[in-house]
Structure 1
């Protein structure tokens, strides 16, 4: 419909776009008016001029009559500048509602497609002077970019392109290229790759054209099962980290945090750690277990291991020696009631001469394991802290650990089956 008119306003000039025109007049039963008087004449139906196809672009649409639409899109690597769709306008002089767009090779940007093209500004013409352009290839996590140069020509040494394996200026440089030699293919091992181009104030050349295509990166090896420990982490893909923790009584050997490295073949940035029983050490936890070296496997090589257990002042250390399966000759465990081997000795224990429990009278206890037998065994000595009393207001209290303790405070006498801190 060209229009619907009523009232006293003069309609504007109308142009039909076909060889037929339908005019419908309607009046109702009420007020009558002077009506209308119109003139028409035949005009040729000319088309809009054929729109120019932008360099490095393509046009869709072969009809250029009134209201026909023509669409444009750019070749890979170029960005459309202008309107992607233009329409032939009605009127005595046919024209498009917008000029045809341009296809421009831009200076930098972000590309997120799984494959694409990156061009130096102005390609295939010469790039401008004093350019600093940075493109980021942003792919889904778990994919890298295979980069292939199709054209390359820059001013040697002064104008160059850098490819970095990551999104930052500090990311590892995969290559820096200048001159006219076509660079070889590159494989980025990060889901983000940076392409940086620099030109100085002097010579200008055609620059470069490169293609990239995403390829799937493998995961790092599964660190499970992790003997005598726990692995914490959500995934084993590139850039992700996992943390290793040992069970009580074991000590971590190696790095506690590993990160899946960038690389064509996925691997961790350090060897997998191990949880091993240490041969001696300082223990400050309130309870736990001292294991024989190599536990639960039998110990083998001749060795002397010394552990010092320290609990808060006012507490003592209780040992449970029930699991003591050492060799009957040449293997023994010595325990001192204090931090030094000159402290009072609580005993020397073997498989055949083992007490069930041992108590210290101080907050520190020294334990030494000696092995020189041909074969090995195992032991697991559980320890825990307990409260002890060292002094009362009336003076020093002598007691045997584990015995009943009585004391008088004011007019009240207290009896405690287990020793508690009353000082």
Structure 2
């Protein structure tokens, strides 16, 4: 037995040494077409510093009928909250695939899974580089495998269930992405209910979460909700005949997971599509169109009402720091690094690592007037693309620490 143990240990050590040697001796070039069941991809010159001003594209193809599973083993790119400078994009296809994520800094995502047998990686660097780039491994997997890592698939029967890997025997694994694409006949809609639900809790569902989208792809503008914690979301109804449910777990804490059920319903069934789960009430206010009358900007610029009486009439309520502010036409386009979200509504929130940001259009550039680098409370409406819209009648004020308590009270207010 000792001999067998020593032999096994030596075999493992040899394997580890071979992998280490392979990863550190392989010459990584800028992009390429890779057709294989598995492989290793690294940024140009890895583990040396990657070159500036480059755009490298890798196209992965695994055998027909399989999906691509990609895991980053190492990532070190110039860090930026919005990944604007150096970044790696991962797409679930070669031509018009859905973007599965954009990554920079040292944030290592969980396993990324394509819907088909193709995946594309694109790495972009600007004039200033910082870091050793990335190293990732990929492999082919069966799309409906219910093992440790893989889950998801296409659901087109009139009713059915979906659940996290390992349900109900044990917690879901760390570092997985599951996408269920539910397709009903054209004249029907889809109802989704969660029977049990326990996903790592976070106020903004930044880590492990379930997102539900109208249509067949991940599109923040069409997101119905984002859910985490241990309370099952209320029933969800699709607008049309397709829904995409995506579950994502990061590389740390896990929980029991969930089991959900869906069924097709006739289109005339009354729907009450929910606002995203970080708010408690449905959106009743219509978004403000970008085309607005000049008269809107001619009224006197004066803040009306209080935090309290503007809270319920606003589609979104956030606090944040203005990081970019650009004048275009008579409007100001700002990017806000989020401090806190009190009411998310339909607002699209981008995430890079643990930093969140959003885009807001101030319709009248001087009302309210905001400056880069300062902190504000923003209350307003949302357009069809998920951007915040602030008109003169909306509530914006400088954010100070003393406002925090009042905002926390409002967060629990029922409108």
- Report the TM-score when normalising by structure 1: 0.30
Calculate the TM-score normalised by the size of structure 2.
0.31
Structure with the greater alpha carbon radius of gyration? 1
Relative to its length, the structure with more helix (as a share) is 2
